[in-house]
Amino acid sequence: MSFYHDFSFIQMEGPTLNTSLASNISNGQTTSRPKEIVTSCGWCDWRPRWLQRFNSQRWLLAAISSAACMTLMIEDGFTNSAITSIERRFQLRSQDIGTILSIYEFTVIISIIPVTYFGGRGNKPRWISIGCFVVGVASLLFALPHFTTERYAYFSEKGNEQATCHLHEANSSSTSSVDSCRRNGKSISLLSRYIILFGAAKVIAGIGAPPQGSLGVVFIDESITTKQNGMYLRIAVIPGSVFGTFLGGWVMRRRKLKVPGLIKLAILGSTIETIAFLCVLMHCPQTQIAGVTTAYDSGNGSTLLNLTSSCNIACSCSADKFKPVCLEESGLSFFSPCHAGCSQDFENGTYGGCSCSPGMSFGIPSTVRHGKCSTPCNLQPAFIFMMNVVLVAIFMSKVPLMNIVLRCVAEHERAVALGMNSVVARTLGSIPGPILFGAIIDSTCLRWQETCGERGACWLYNNKSLSWKLTTLSLVCNVLTVLFYALALRFYEPASQGESSTDNRDVPETETCLNERNT
């Protein structure tokens, strides 16, 4: 439901709307003559009586929270959870995905300043609703490639036949592979070109997202008292991370924290996050895959890592698709049934006549099953628990940080302040972050997808290298975060009693940031 109003948004259940709210929603016009402010809920002149039951703080919170929640689900939830599928389906690298995510953040930076400036002086509900519509259009555009491409099939109709070993000459195999590429016109570039459409969708989403974050938070803050601020913002800012957000808001309300206390709470959250993130160093043993992580003849001291071996050189195996199989007798996995030298498909997930099995040299038939061999590892429960601790610590700091920004500037500058805060955070973190992390993840790839001589997504990563590199980069970022929090605490100075502050609307103490005192 969109909440449109000519001048005002809600009739307060408790304290009435402050003067700033009325003037802001009145398109920035302030006059000395008293003006009748329409406080009923509706669209233009359509204001039915039954709709007025939604004319309250609680429904304002519900509407803005729902909009923010859906945007977060789309941009941070659905997109991030489907990254691996998008990489494999459209044959993209992690760095390509990082670039797509950075395009969204860069667009937000470009649009957030004008949106918060003009939206903060205009009709905030209208700006927020338009932003929701734009994000919806972007979401449909982002999903479009999944409907315009042919139905995804991991293997073709002859997939099972191609998966097993067929004795041909190696030269004829490579020639037929090239001919197949020319005949079918299949190459990675044909699918990866959809990165342009993904990028365009993120540009549109980046234009529509800022009103919900900056204007939505300011609008809620204008509609409630400072005493209620922590309670409402902890619900509205990050609905998806409930416990951490509620914990931060509860501590604020319980301890009645001022700006120094809020900074200390943020330092505590970042410190816990830094320590808990060491759990990323926990990693399971690397699956042993012949030709990728171990040699085919490793028992004889060989260290050559090549998918082609003497046992499958005549099988015309393709490395286009990763279909691992497991030889349970030895715990060794193979890239595909063909690379295991298997000539029989039993159509029940097992393959027989595998020439790369050690037992075949003694005339002992062997079979392999579909899937990689499992490695003994009981670290997953501990890892999941520690990652939840990390998330709680991260989002425990969100509400205090939002309140610090709101309290450090004059009341009429809060929307722009939140916009500038978002610009700095995205410029230093959200834009280079996905690209940098994507490059690091790609650097740990052991085996790339290759189709018609072009590189696509990564099939397999080095677990140990990935955990160490991600931990190192994350620790550096977290240490810098704590350092800047400490500097903010060191240089913060409260305002004198005679100076105004956005922190004293309904509390006797006055305090503000040094920047406001000097203006």
Rounded CA separation 172/392 (Å): 58
Which residue did the predictor score with more confidence, 188 or 282? Answer: 282
Residue whose C-alpha is closest to residue 220's, from 350, 67, 61: 61
Question: How does strand 344-345 pair with strand 350-352?
Answer: antiparallel
Helix boundaries (H) for 408-455: 414-425, 432-443
Contact between 252 and 262 under an 8 Å Cβ cutoff? The reply is yes
Kindly report the average pLDDT of the chain as a whole number.
Answer: 73
Q: Which single residue is written with the structure tokens 């540009």? A: 203
Look at residue 171 in the predicted model and tell me its pLDDT. 44
Rounded CA separation 259/511 (Å): 8
295 strand-pairing partners: none
Q: Note the pLDDT tens digit of each residue in 88-137.
A: 788 788 888 888 888 888 888 888 778 777 877 777 778 888 888 898 89
Whether the pLDDT of residue 16 is over 50: the answer is no
- Report the SS3 class of residue 284: coil
Rounded CA separation 251/516 (Å): 26
Residue percentage of the chain with pLDDT more than 70: 70
Q: Which single residue is written with the structure tokens 């619900």? A: 235
Find the length of the chain: 519
**For the chain, what are the domain ranges?**
57-149+194-282+379-517
Rounded CA separation 112/405 (Å): 16
Contact between 298 and 286 under an 8 Å Cβ cutoff? The reply is no
Q: What secondary structure does DSSP assign to 90-158, as a single string?
A: HT--HHHHHHHHHHHHHHHHHHHHHHHHHHHTS-HHHHHHHHHHHHHHHHHHHHTHHHHSPPP-SS-TT
Counting beta carbons within 10 angstroms of the beta carbon of residue 360, is it exposed (0 to 12), middle (13 to 18) or buried (19 or more)? Answer: middle
In our burial notation (b when 16+ CB lie closer than 10 A, e otherwise), range 450-460 reads ebbebebbbbb
Element (H, E) at 456: strand 454-461
Whether the pLDDT of residue 483 is over 90: the answer is yes
451 strand-pairing partners: 454
For residue 391, what pLDDT band results from cuts at 50, 70 and 90?
confident
Which tokens is 413 given?
């500058």
Look at residue 79 in the predicted model and tell me its pLDDT. 76
Q: Measured between alpha carbons, how far is residue 46 from residues 22, 35, 43, 123, 175 in Å?
A: 21, 21, 5, 17, 72
Whether the pLDDT of residue 451 is over 50: the answer is yes
Q: What secondary structure does DSSP assign to 41-73, as a single string?
A: -BBTTB--GGGGGG-SHHHHHHHHHHHHHHHHI
Look at residue 18 in the predicted model and tell me its pLDDT. 42
Rounded CA separation 443/2 (Å): 46
Cα angle at 457 between 453 and 458, to 5 degrees?
Answer: 105
Rounded CA separation 208/134 (Å): 5
Q: Cα 165 to chain center, whole Å?
A: 41
Q: Note the pLDDT tens digit of each residue in 146-173.
A: 888 877 665 544 445 556 776 554 444 4
Rounded CA separation 468/8 (Å): 53
Q: What average pLDDT does range 381-401 have in this prediction? A: 82
Handedness of CA 158, 162, 163, 164 (dihedral sign): positive
Residue percentage of the chain with pLDDT more than 90: 5
Cα angle at 396 between 240 and 403, to 5 degrees?
Answer: 100
Q: What is the radius of gyration, based on Cα positions, of the chain?
A: 29
CATH topology for the 57-149+194-282+379-517 domain: Growth Hormone; Chain: A; (1.20.1250)
Whether the pLDDT of residue 275 is over 70: the answer is yes
Q: Which single residue is written with the structure tokens 């734009």? A: 134
